[in-house]
Chain A
């Protein structure tokens, strides 16, 4: 099949799932240490830049954006979307197995739904083919 993903492309999708979720967790951990920021205390945002958790979070989120942009260059937005949602599952599972938080039944339900969504989309093509355009490409190649 023409639109089968290469191993490096699967790696990009997995990086999207991990960088967004871990980056967000690091940012929120760091901002808890920095304290509440509101419009009257914007100076705290400057302090936040010196927090290692915030810095690590920013680096991971820049990485996420690079991976996301790369994925959109060879896959449909509706194909990449469930991968970004899988980040929420990673956060929930990190909470369960790393921080030993209890997950409620509804949260397990949410995890199951997102896992199913990834399965539905992964079974189909990554990119919409437009037969007319493909014919034009083929014609141009002759």
Chain B
């Protein structure tokens, strides 16, 4: 049987990782929609590029998710050990990002990128030790 504390810790780790994935995928979707920022800057200046980003709905919701993620992370770290929570969240976020990028952003995640995702996820776990 899992103790309620274990469920709380892993529940909060999964929640923080899910918020990070949602935030990054929404921001990526927004930037994909806008297109190359260098072109926008060449066309309407730096302020025009900043305005284009800040008025993109995907970007704004994504940034909100990232802000929530920051506070959820503080909460998770208050109930779980830093040495468990930080690498577990980072690792799950990388794997979740790759899956969500394939499903929602229609990125071609070929074997090279899957391998890179797995290496990054394991590498982050190893670096924490």
Interface residues of A (CB under 8 A from B): 8, 38, 69-70, 72-74, 76-79, 81-82, 85, 88-89, 92, 104, 106-107, 109-114, 116-118, 120-121, 123-124, 128, 130
Of residues 72 through 129 on chain B, the ones whose CB sits less than 8 Å from some CB of chain A are 78, 90, 94, 97-98, 101-102, 105-110, 112-113, 115-117, 119-120, 122-129
Chain B residues with CB under 8 Å of A85's CB are 94, 120, 123-124
Query: Do residues A113 and B123 form an inter-chain contact, with CB atoms below 8 A?
Result: yes
Contact of A124 with B35 at beta-carbon distance under 8 Å, contacts A81-B98, A110-B126, A130-B106 already known: no
Contact of A72 with B27 at beta-carbon distance under 8 Å, contacts A77-B101, A88-B127, A107-B126 already known: yes
Report the separation of the CA atoms of residues A5 and B60 in the bound assembly, to the nearest whole angstrom: 27
Asked whether any CB of chain A lies closer than 8 Å to the CB of B28, the reply is yes
Contact of A113 with B119 at beta-carbon distance under 8 Å, contacts A78-B98, A120-B113 already known: yes
Report the separation of the CA atoms of residues A77 and B129 in the bound assembly, to the nearest whole angstrom: 27
Interface mask (B32-56 → A, CB under 8 Å = 1, otherwise 0): 1011111000000000000001000
Q: Determine which of A38, A79, A92, A117 lies in contact with B119 in the assembled complex, contact meaning CB atoms within 8 Å.
A: A117
Q: Determine which of A69, A111, A118 lies in contact with B37 in the assembled complex, contact meaning CB atoms within 8 Å.
A: A69
CB distance from B43 to the nearest CB of A (A): 13
CB distance from B80 to the nearest CB of A (A): 15
Chain B residues with CB under 8 Å of A116's CB are 116, 119
- Enumerate 14 A-B pairs (CB-CB under 8 Å) in ascending A order: A69-B53, A73-B32, A74-B37, A78-B101, A78-B113, A85-B120, A107-B126, A109-B126, A110-B124, A112-B123, A120-B115, A121-B113, A124-B110, A128-B108
Report the separation of the CA atoms of residues A92 and B32 in the bound assembly, to the nearest whole angstrom: 32
Per DSSP, are chain A's interface residues mostly helix, strand or loop, or mixed?
helix
Q: Determine which of A78, A79, A106 lies in contact with B126 in the assembled complex, contact meaning CB atoms within 8 Å.
A: A106
Chain B residues with CB under 8 Å of A120's CB are 112-113, 115-116, 119
Pair count A-B, CB < 8 A: 116
Chain A residues with CB under 8 Å of B90's CB are 88
Chain B residues with CB under 8 Å of A107's CB are 126-127, 129
Across the interface, name the chain A residue whose C-beta is closest to B111. A120
Query: Do residues B123 and A117 form an inter-chain contact, with CB atoms below 8 A?
Result: yes
Report the separation of the CA atoms of residues A118 and B112 in the bound assembly, to the nearest whole angstrom: 10
Report the separation of the CA atoms of residues A124 and B116 in the bound assembly, to the nearest whole angstrom: 11
Query: Do residues A73 and B129 form an inter-chain contact, with CB atoms below 8 A?
Result: no
Query: Do residues A128 and B126 form an inter-chain contact, with CB atoms below 8 A?
Result: no
Query: Do residues A114 and B123 form an inter-chain contact, with CB atoms below 8 A?
Result: yes
